[in-house]
Amino acid sequence: MINYPFNIANNSESKSNVSYKNRGLSLEKMINDSNKYYRFIDKALIYKKPTPIHIVKTNKENIITEAFFERPSSTDYNGIYRGKYIDFEAKETKSKTSFSLKNIQDNQIEHILKVHEMGGISFLIIYFTALNKIFIYFASDLKKFIKENKRNSIPLEEFIKNGKEVTLTISPILNYLVFIDELLQ
Amino acid sequence: MINYPFNIANNSESKSNVSYKNRGLSLEKMINDSNKYYRFIDKALIYKKPTPIHIVKTNKENIITEAFFERPSSTDYNGIYRGKYIDFEAKETKSKTSFSLKNIQDNQIEHILKVHEMGGISFLIIYFTALNKIFIYFASDLKKFIKENKRNSIPLEEFIKNGKEVTLTISPILNYLVFIDELLQ
């Protein structure tokens, strides 16, 4: 008897009834669950990097009693899919009109562009919570946008035009790897 | 005026005079410095993942006041080199005769083997501190060793025979990517 960690069979819930907004799921939770599923079916090995923390003190039981958050040096997620290096940053925004690049550190944007230059697949996943819309936005488009625009926020129209909207599925909840498949074709 | 973070020019110290043992450098420090150098010259983007920590409490100043260490779910280092996904675990041992696989979690060994199956480049870096020797040991050899041997420690002879000994250089201190170049040829 295998104890499946996911409800991959006999899920009677229809696709149209599923709303991540109504479920109150965070983007991080959706991505982590999807990555767990991808690992379970041996499709991809993608993990969220732990939050970087500088530890100041630990006690005798090795419990941390003083520590502070550090600036991440790269992006939140990376791993391997179809032999390719995958790297991305995921962000939520409450805005209904644009995503401000101020939400992402300069060194993270630079990292995403460098991965792309080096032949890896890098992108942003942006969740417009008020619109209940999630987009994948590849590094090549980000590079072009930054080059051509002096504004430091990406309007929703740009995501609609050049991004890929991720629709919800059962397993995994965010099947974002289909867009990597498209890209590799 | 560029402020170089590394002494990449006019270093008169000859290769033979350099000893990581005498310098008292940890393997982690040597790898981190080498990765920093590789990033600086735009050769590879490889980072150490932060230590996973479960945060229990933070105070008003966002200082962590209670947290504990978690088990890492994958390996310590990953990134991209020559378009390939790179993934490895680094360990020191005081033993003069073997490296015990008990020093690496089962799920980490499984991860290394899976990355290899998926077309990534995965390996161990083992530092025999008492012998002042550092070896790269690729997943393909690890897989073979585990299959053919019931012992859960890898003898030094196996590293000498099938591993690659990493000799010290100036920049970077551990030029381990040369063995990836060899592998890709």
**In degrees to the nearest 10, what's the CA dihedral of A32, B57, A62, B106?**
-10
Percent of chain A with pLDDT over 90: 79
Q: Does A114 touch chain B (CB under 8 A)?
A: yes
Put simply, the answer to whether A115 touches B87 (Cβ < 8 Å) is no
Q: Which residues contact B92 (CB under 8 A, 6 or more apart)?
A: B26, B27, B126, B127, B129
| Residues 132-151 (B) with a CB less than 8 A from some CB of A | none
- Pick from B49, B66, B115: which is nearest to A50 by CB? B49
pLDDT, mean of residues A42-62: 94
Beta strands in chain A (DSSP E): 44-48, 53-58, 63-69, 77-81, 84-93, 98-100, 121-128, 133-138, 153-155, 164-165
Give the position of tokens 């080096």. Answer: A118
Q: What is the per-residue pLDDT for A142?
A: 97
| Cβ-Cβ contacts under 8 Å, B71 against chain A | none
pLDDT, mean of residues A4-26: 48
Q: How far is CA A176 from CA A38, A71, A172, B167, B184, in A?
A: 10, 26, 9, 42, 30
Q: What is the CA radius of gyration of chain B?
A: 18
Amino acid at B129: T
pLDDT in tens, B78-108: 999 999 999 999 999 999 999 999 999 999 9
- Pick from A81, A82, A118: which is nearest to B80 by CB? A118
Inter-chain Cβ pairs, chain A and chain B, closer than 8 A: 104
Weakest-pLDDT range from A1-10, A62-71, B41-50, B54-63: A1-10
Q: Chain B residue with minimal CA distance to A45?
A: B115
| Cβ-Cβ contacts under 8 Å, B69 against chain A | 62, 64
Q: Does B57 touch chain A (CB under 8 A)?
A: no
pLDDT, mean of residues A134-152: 94
* Nearest CA-CA partner of A125 in A78, A60, A83, A171: A78
pLDDT over threshold 80, residue B3: no
Q: Chain B residue with minimal CA distance to A116?
A: B83
d(CA B19, CA A97) in angstroms, rounded, equals 58
d(CA A38, CA A49) in angstroms, rounded, equals 16
Q: What is the per-residue pLDDT for B21?
A: 52
Q: Does A69 touch chain B (CB under 8 A)?
A: yes
pLDDT, mean of residues B142-168: 94
Q: What is the per-residue pLDDT for A25?
A: 84
Helix (H), strand (E), coil (C) string for B130-182: CCCEEEEEEHHHHHHHHHHCCCCEEEHHHHHHHCEECCECCCCCECCHHHHHH
Q: Among the residues of chain A, which ranges form H helices?
A: 20-23, 27-40, 106-117, 139-148, 156-162, 177-184
- Nearest Cα of chain B lies from the Cα of A157 at a distance, in angstroms, of 31
> How many of the other CB atoms lie within 10 Å of CB of B178?
13
Q: Does B83 touch chain A (CB under 8 A)?
A: yes
Q: Are B170 and B15 in contact (CB under 8 A)?
A: yes
d(CA B82, CA B77) in angstroms, rounded, equals 16
pLDDT in tens, A63-119: 999 999 998 889 999 999 999 999 999 999 999 999 999 999 999 999 999 999 999
pLDDT over threshold 50, residue B71: yes
Peptide bond into B172 cis (omega under 30): yes
pLDDT over threshold 50, residue B148: yes
* Nearest CA-CA partner of A71 in A25, A46, A105: A105
Put simply, the answer to whether B64 touches A62 (Cβ < 8 Å) is no
Q: What is the per-residue pLDDT for A150?
A: 78
Q: Which residues contact A45 (CB under 8 A, 6 or more apart)?
A: A38, A39, A79, A80, A81, B74, B111, B114, B115, B118, B120
H or E segment at B54?
strand B53-58
Put simply, the answer to whether B42 touches A66 (Cβ < 8 Å) is no
| Cβ-Cβ contacts under 8 Å, B49 against chain A | 49-50
- Nearest Cα of chain A lies from the Cα of B46 at a distance, in angstroms, of 10
- Nearest Cα of chain B lies from the Cα of A32 at a distance, in angstroms, of 13
pLDDT over threshold 80, residue B12: no
Q: Name the pLDDT band for A1 (thresholds 50, 70, 90).
A: very low
First to last CA, chain A: 38
pLDDT in tens, B26-37: 999 999 999 999
Q: What is the per-residue pLDDT for B168?
A: 86
Weakest-pLDDT range from A93-97, A124-128, B2-6, B99-103: B2-6
At residue A128's C-alpha, the angle toward residues A126 and A134, to 5°, is 55
Put simply, the answer to whether A67 touches B53 (Cβ < 8 Å) is yes
Q: Tell me the pTM.
A: 0.86
Report the residue of A80, A86, A121 to disrupt the B interface, i.e. the one with the largest count of B CBs within 10 Å.
A80
Put simply, the answer to whether B53 touches A69 (Cβ < 8 Å) is no
Q: What is the per-residue pLDDT for B13?
A: 38
Q: Name the pLDDT band for B8 (thresholds 50, 70, 90).
A: very low
pLDDT, mean of residues B116-137: 97
Q: What is the per-residue pLDDT for B7?
A: 40
d(CA A121, CA A138) in angstroms, rounded, equals 8
Amino acid at A123: F
pLDDT over threshold 60, residue A2: no
Weakest-pLDDT range from A23-37, A143-157, B15-29, B38-52: B15-29
pLDDT, mean of residues A120-143: 97
Burial class (CB in 10 A: 0-12, 13-18, 19+), B80: buried
